[in-house]
Amino acid sequence: MSGTAIITGGGSGLGQATALRLAKDGINIAIVDVNEKGGNETVEMVKELGPDAIFIKADVSKSEDVKNYVDQTLAHFGSIEYFFNNAGISGSGKYFMETEIKEIEQIVGINLMGALYGVRYVAEAMLKNGGGSIVNTASSAGVIGQDSVVTYSATKHGIVGLTKSMVAEYAKDGLRVNAIAPGPTETPMVKAFYEANPEMKANATAGIPQKRLGTAEEVAELVAFLLTSKAQYINGEVISIDGGFTNVK
């Protein structure tokens, strides 16, 4: 397998795990993150597996940064076949009426606007080249309502709408757009959230039929499947990977 993937939030967690999984298939990677240290670490790990990789620093809430990471990827690799639209933040875990407006704006800017900008510029490049495959990161909170994450949940429901509506417009042109909806997963973002809200981890684990959190590597396997040619007739789907969490609510 060959081609180039852009992965946002590639400096850690799901993004890093997916970069390594795709690298095993020979796919070149553009790692996008605001965290230079983590992003460059992922690049080195990908290169050790054989493919080429570059790091591009970006704040995805800024449209000019998003356009820049697309332009830099095209300049270096020549094309974009795959896009894991993954960058996101969870927020403080406060109830909505206690959440500062600044935090609401930050979550919406990164999780929703960043995803919209990413699809806008990446899909433009893909469509000029006959199509491509995009996987957006939604969440279990984008499939059901959950307390303590109202703004986050709203953005992830938005990701679901973005995924389905892009397919309605552009599937005929060779674009595939799917989304994953992970439940609580062992990533740095989730770990930090639970450290700030320790009672929520026990509640979350108790509510998962498999009685454990998911792993980044398990999610990466799903993303790799959806991105590549093995999933050519899967389009517009939102696939939960949550140990049964959303099925028992």
Predicted local distance difference test score (pLDDT) of residue 194: 75
Separation of alpha carbons 68 and 6, rounded Å: 12
Q: Tens of pLDDT along 105-119?
A: 999 999 999 999 999
Q: Is 121 a catalytic site residue?
A: no
Pairwise CA distance, residues 11 & 123, whole Å? 22
Architecture of domain 4-187+215-240: 3-Layer(aba) Sandwich (3.40)
pLDDT digits (tens, 9 = 90+) for 47-93: 999 999 999 999 999 999 999 999 999 999 999 999 999 999 999 99
142 pLDDT more than 70: yes
What is the DSSP secondary structure assignment for residue 247, as one 8-state letter?
A: G
249 — pLDDT class (breaks 50, 70, 90): low
The answer to pTM > 0.85 is: yes
- Crossing angle of the two packed helices 13-23 and 216-227, in degrees rounded to 10: 50
- Alpha carbons 92 and 101: distance in angstroms, whole number: 12
Residue from 69, 82, 117, 152 carrying the catalytic annotation: 152
pLDDT one-digit tens code per residue, 189-220: 777 777 777 776 667 778 899 988 999 999 99
Nearest to 87 by CA among 70, 66, 64: 66
